[in-house]
A and B are shown apart, each in its own frame.
Chain A
Amino acid sequence: MKMTKIYEGSHQWIMFGRDEHKPANIIDSNQYAVRTANRCLLMEPGGSELFAPMMAAVLHHAPVEQITDLFASHQDPDVISSLGLWDQALSSAKLHAPALWESFLRHFGCESIEYVPIPDNGGTIKLDSVELQLIPAHYLHSSGNFHVYDPQAKILMSGDVGAALEAPGAPMFVENFDSHIEKMRYFHQRWMPSNQAKRAWIERVRNLDIDILAPQHGRIFKGDDVKRFLDWFDTLQVGTAV
């Protein structure tokens, strides 16, 4: 599992991904951690296949007892099917996930972890002195869906928005936006169901100050590529399977 520090300030953002030992027939995913003085939040901690390499990688940055929070943008297995294992590893942690999906996500096993349901209009996660905003992203692609915005680091963890289907070992960052478009087009057209939801999200996100847009699959967007992505997504017709 590769680890890349994408922000270093009063706290850190670390991206985990491109796991070399991942079975070839499961989709590659990016996991993220926010590390503060005494706490660690894992975002989109991944599928159960990924638990061991992910936990081993996190141990380079935080001890188990300081992994206090998990976040799942939605209910998909590549996002959070490892929940039952985190549940047995972490003695007192919270899972921040859509209220809409609570009774569904509990199928993965959630006995010792406290499920903190995120209401439809969003909320916050406080880690020491860092406050993260939970931005509604419903129907992108899941009916109950949130992204995480860090106003201090100016990072938006955007779940499946901005995702791309890449060859194994792809670079961590978008290097040439134009050539990256084709890697994203099908994913967004097929997985995102609603143009109305897309427009509402873009309007909301354009008001945020974003340096880094960090999706759950594919490469991370930096600087001007963030605006390029929003402009491209704005013109894209989604929900094309019907």
Chain B
Amino acid sequence: MSLNMNNQTKSQFVAVASITSELSAVMVVAKEISLAAANAKAIAFRAGDKAKGFQPITDFINELAKETIELVTSINVYALSLYQLTVNEYRKTVAYNKFEQVTKMSEGAAYAQSMQAPLAHAQLSMQLCQRQFKRDVKQLLDQLEAVMHHARAARVIAANSRIEASQAGEYLQSLQAVAESVDKAAHTIHDNVQRCRIALSLYRNS
């Protein structure tokens, strides 16, 4: 049992570290969306009436990118505290396993009994860390769901953008490129966040 917990703790390190890595990629893509929005706004301004329907969409894309960046920034802070929690849990688990070894090895020693209090304390600390980790994972999964929601919204906007772009005459190609870029970015965000969720969901009910 102890060995399994140890292995699980080690896998947690990988899972939590992978979140930070995936999220940094999401951040890059969200910034790209923001840039695409600025570009689209400039094109829509030049296109004037021909891209009238496109103008509010650019504001919406920009807003969505900003919100995604803010959300990912806050999730990153959270992921960092989850990493610290994993370090603590690892330390507590190692200590608990060692203390168990001590109790076995000290059988018959005059003061063997005195190890019971540290052993019980180590077990409690380890269990508290494990519970806290599960709680934090659940919250992080909820936050990641919010990013997924943003990514889905971005894809809908991209579809609308394509329709609006088709009525923009000579600006069609430029605006379609913007729509493509938003769609691609939203796709990437969706995939990256989905990988985070899969990595973490292993620990939600473990």
Binding site for B on A (CB under 8 A): 51-53, 55-57, 59-65, 84-85, 88-91, 109
Contacts and interface: CB of A to CB of B under 8 A. Distances in A.
Given A84-B91, A88-B91, A89-B95, A59 B101 contact: no
Interface string B86-125: 0000011011001101100110011111110110011001
B118 A89 contact: yes
Given A64-B117, A89-B118, A59 B95 contact: no
19 contacts: A52-B101, A52-B105, A55-B98, A55-B102, A59-B109, A59-B112, A59-B115, A60-B110, A60-B111, A61-B110, A61-B111, A64-B115, A65-B114, A85-B98, A88-B95, A88-B118, A88-B122, A89-B95, A109-B91
A85 B98 CA distance: 8
Nearest to A62: B111
The 7 closest A-B pairs by CB, nearest first: A63-B114, A56-B105, A52-B101, A56-B106, A63-B111, A59-B109, A88-B95
Given A51-B102, A52-B105, A88-B121, 12 more contacts: A52-B102, A55-B106, A56-B105, A59-B102, A60-B109, A62-B111, A63-B114, A64-B114, A64-B115, A65-B117, A85-B95, A88-B92
Interface residues of B, number: 22
A85 B95 CA distance: 6
A53 B99 CA distance: 10
Choose among A57, A61, A85, A90 the residue with the greatest number of B CB atoms under 10 Å from its CB. Answer: A85
Main SS class of interface, B = helix
Nearest to B111: A63
Contacts, number: 61
Contacts of A85: 94-95, 98
Main SS class of interface, A = helix
A51 B114 contact: no
Contacts of B113: 63
Contacts of B94: 85
A9 B172 CA distance: 97
Contacts of A91: 118
Given A52-B98, A59-B110, A59-B111, A64 B105 contact: no
Contacts of A60: 106, 109-111
Contacts of A53: 105
B102 A56 contact: yes
A90 B95 CA distance: 12
Contacts of A57: 109
Choose among B101, B106, B112, B122 the residue with the greatest number of A CB atoms under 10 Å from its CB. Answer: B106
Nearest to B103: A56
A89 B121 CA distance: 9
A90 B102 CA distance: 14
Choose among B106, B111, B118 the residue with the greatest number of A CB atoms under 10 Å from its CB. Answer: B111
Nearest to B87: A109
A91 to B, nearest CB: 8
A242 B93 CA distance: 44
A55 B115 CA distance: 9
Nearest to A88: B95
A88 to B, nearest CB: 4
A12 to B, nearest CB: 13
A53 B106 CA distance: 8
A65 B99 CA distance: 15
A64 B115 CA distance: 6
A89 B91 contact: no
